[in-house]
């Protein structure tokens, strides 16, 4: 399961600073098994490697962009998996499931090692929920205390689009968020789809993603 560890640890520096320097995982002595460590709202969030089904969902999304590139050599978008996204403005560090970036980002990466991306490098982020960390992917729950999530962090740093694939059996579906309000840290809902429907991403992407085979996770 995900572990929020900030409150229980005495760190030599802030979680964000250690994340940027690549020291946080080593300090936490995390296994080299695909475990992810992120800083969300100043808290350390440790998540296990996702299950294979999770990876299949991501491959379905990535495949549609690859097919679009095959049909049009001038198609400008590239999909990158599990890259470090440095949210300097909020002092957070995320590892999105997928990011969609302009071909120029790919060219920069090929010209030399690129350790991380920044929100201005990214056109869209994609998250597929897992039982252990779904609450960090969704919009914050409003109540006595509103804690930042990746949804609000992406909005606050101006990521133009956020595609959320929620596999929770209680609310399965796909939502496209856009028009970020940086001051409020909120998005507008641009589209919603049930599993089984075709997800049609508008321009500038113009990609259609079939979800006929998608199912919620097992409870």
Report pLDDT for 34: 82
> Can you name the residues that pair with 163 across neighbouring β-strands?
126, 176
Mean pLDDT of all residues in 137-163: 89
Mean pLDDT of all residues in 139-143: 76
Reported as a single tens digit per residue, the pLDDT across 65-103 is 999 999 999 999 999 998 999 999 999 999 999 999 999
CATH of 51-209, one of 3.90.1570.10, 3.30.70.270, 3.20.20.70, 3.40.50.300: 3.90.1570.10
C-beta atoms surrounding 184 within 10 Å: 10
CB 24 within 8 Å of CB 45: no
Report pLDDT for 10: 79
Confidence of residue 108 (pLDDT cuts 50, 70, 90): very high
Confidence of residue 9 (pLDDT cuts 50, 70, 90): low
Report pLDDT for 6: 40
pTM: 0.92
Tell me, what DSSP letter sits at residue 203? T
Tell me, what DSSP letter sits at residue 88? T
Report pLDDT for 144: 52
Q: In what order do the strands lie in the sheet with 161-166?
A: 77-81, 98-102, 122-128, 161-166, 173-181, 186-193
Pairwise CA distance, residues 100 & 78, whole Å: 6
Which residues lie below 8 Å from residue 143, measured CB to CB, with a gap of 6+? none
Domain ranges of the chain: 51-209
Q: Per the structure block, which two tokens stand in for 95?
A: 């590892």
Mean pLDDT of the chain: 92
CA nearest 77: which of 61, 57, 60?
61
Report pLDDT for 3: 41
Q: Per the structure block, which two tokens stand in for 72?
A: 């049009």
Using the predicted structure, report yes or no on whether residue 135 has a pLDDT greater than 60.
Answer: yes
Report pLDDT for 141: 79
Report pLDDT for 163: 98
Reported as a single tens digit per residue, the pLDDT across 173-200 is 999 999 999 999 999 999 999 999 999 9
Pairwise CA distance, residues 70 & 84, whole Å: 27
Per cent of the chain over pLDDT 70 is 94
Pairwise CA distance, residues 125 & 112, whole Å: 23
């Amino acid at each position: 399961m995900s572990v929020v560890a900030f409150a229980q640890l005495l760190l030599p520096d802030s979680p964000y600073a250690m994340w940027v320097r690549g020291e946080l995982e080593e300090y936490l002595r995390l296994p080299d098994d695909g475990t992810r460590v992120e800083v969300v709202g100043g808290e350390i969030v440790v998540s296990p490697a996702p299950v294979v089904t999770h990876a299949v969902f991501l491959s379905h999304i990535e495949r549609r962009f690859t097919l679009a590139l095959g049909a049009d050599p001038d198609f400008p978008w590239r999909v990158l998996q599990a890259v470090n996204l440095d949210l300097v403005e909020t002092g957070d560090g995320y590892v999105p499931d997928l990011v969609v970036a302009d071909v120029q980002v790919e060219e920069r990466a090929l010209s030399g090692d690129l350790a991380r991306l920044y929100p201005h490098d990214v056109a869209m982020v994609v998250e597929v929920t897992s039982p252990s960390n779904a609450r960090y992917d969704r919009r914050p729950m409003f109540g006595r205390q509103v804690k930042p999530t990746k949804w609000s962090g992406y909005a606050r740093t101006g990521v133009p689009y956020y595609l959320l694939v929620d596999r929770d059996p209680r609310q399965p579906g796909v939502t496209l968020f856009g028009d970020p309000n940086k001051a409020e840290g909120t998005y507008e809902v641009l589209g919603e789809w049930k599993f089984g429907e075709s997800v049609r991403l508008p321009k500038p992407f113009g990609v259609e993603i079939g979800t006929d085979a998608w199912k919620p996770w097992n409870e």
